[in-house]
Every structure is written in structure tokens, then in C-alpha cells.
Amino acid sequence: MKKKGNSTRLMLALFIAVPLVFPGCKKKEVPQPASAPQPKPVVNATLPIQQQPSSARVVLSAAPQLDFSSKKDPFKPLVAEKQPSAKPEAVSKTSEALPLQSYDVNSFKVSGIIVGMKENRALIVDPAGKGYVVKSGMQIGNNDGRISKISASAVEIVEQYRDEKGQSQKRTVKLTLAKKSKETSR
């Protein structure tokens, strides 16, 4: 029995010694600070910009350089806005006139008339040989003439002009369609 008593004592000694030698795996609690520390203000420091090498290659060639100075800029608007000037300039009547308004009314020739549509139209040729399709109400001639009527055989134009006395006068000019001759119809 002595053996049994020794083993019991040994077990008892181990139970007492182990907690003394190995204090155990107690979780140590860390005391929390009373107040959170104030965050430091963020300073926006400008970082240097990294230079990226260009992927474009510069090729020097002996080819002649092209000159586009005489070409029209495709990105400019078609209608340029006028800049207000300090002094008003005298604008000539012919500088802003349409090509139809740069010749005398009697110098135009009627080449054809289209009848039967919603509105009659006529083909008029100027002295330079350029043709224009006109309709009632359009301006024509250098005396502020307006097309008043287009019939099947003629175009009537009403012009306003100043006579020798300086009074405004109206006159009606009738441009007739040239008849076809028998020689041209063969």
C-alpha cells in the first residue's frame, strides 16, 4: 500500500505545483484610456508629380513641311460675329448685296418658269451667265426691286427709285420668257 500512498502524494504535489509553476493563461485586460487622443490635422502636402515618358516618337525627316496658312480653317464658324467698333463705318450697299442685287433688273434674262406647284418659280440668268431660281417676294436688282408676280410667261418686278427731284417712285419691270424658235426645236 505504500505504493498507493506515494502515487497519491505525487499527484497531489503535481496539482499544487503546476499552478504555481505555470500561472495559467489568464487574459490580461488592458485599461482603456480615459479619452481618445485628438487626431493630428492632416496637412495637404503637394506630392511631386511623376513625369511620365511620352509614347510619341519624334521623327525628323527630310520631307518638306506643308503650309496650311492659305487654307480655310474648318473649325471657324461660317457666320462671323461682328465686333463693335468705336466709330461707325460707312457700309457700301454693294458689299453686303447678294449677286442678284448687284445688276440692273433689265440685264437679267428669264430662262424658264415652273408653274403649277404651290408657288410659281422662275430661273433667271444674270449677265455673268449664272442662274438663280427665284420666287415671289425675293429681292432682285440694284434698285431694291422685289419680284411681285411670276406668271406662266413673265416675271414682274417692282422697283423703288428716286427721281431727279428726290421723290420716291415705283416702276414695274416685266421680264418675259423667250419663245422657242423653230430652229432650236429640231
Distance CA 142, CA 144 (A): 6
What CA–CA distances, in Å, run from 8 to 18, 21, 22, 79?
Answer: 15, 20, 21, 115
Q: Is the pLDDT at 45 greater than 70, yes or no?
A: no
Kindly indicate the confidence band of residue 92, based on its pLDDT and cuts at 50, 70 and 90.
Answer: very low
Measure the CA angle with vertex 155, ends 151 and 159; round to 5°.
Answer: 135
Q: Is the pLDDT at 90 greater than 60, yes or no?
A: no
* pTM flag (> 0.75): no
Greatest Cα-to-Cα distance within the chain, rounded to the nearest angstrom = 162
Sign of CA dihedral 139, 140, 143, 148: negative
Q: For the chain, what are the domain ranges?
A: 100-178
Average pLDDT estimate for 17-31:
66
131-135 and 121-125 strand pairing: antiparallel
Count of CB atoms situated within 10 Å of the CB of 111? 13
Kindly report the CATH class assigned to 100-178.
Answer: mainly beta
One-letter-per-residue 3-state SS of the chain = CHHHHHHHHHHHHHHHHHHHHCCCCCCCCCCCCCCCCCCCCCCCCCCCCCCCCCCCCCCCCCCCCCCCCCCCCCCCCCCCCCCCCCCCCCCCCCCCCCHHHCCCHHHCEEEEEECCCCCCEEEEECCCCCEEEEECCCEECCCCEEEEEECCCEEEEEEEEECCCCCEEEEEEEEEECCCCHHHHC
What digits encode the pLDDT tens for the residues 132-156? 999 999 999 888 899 999 998 999 9
What digits encode the pLDDT tens for the residues 153-186? 999 999 987 778 888 888 899 999 887 766 555 5
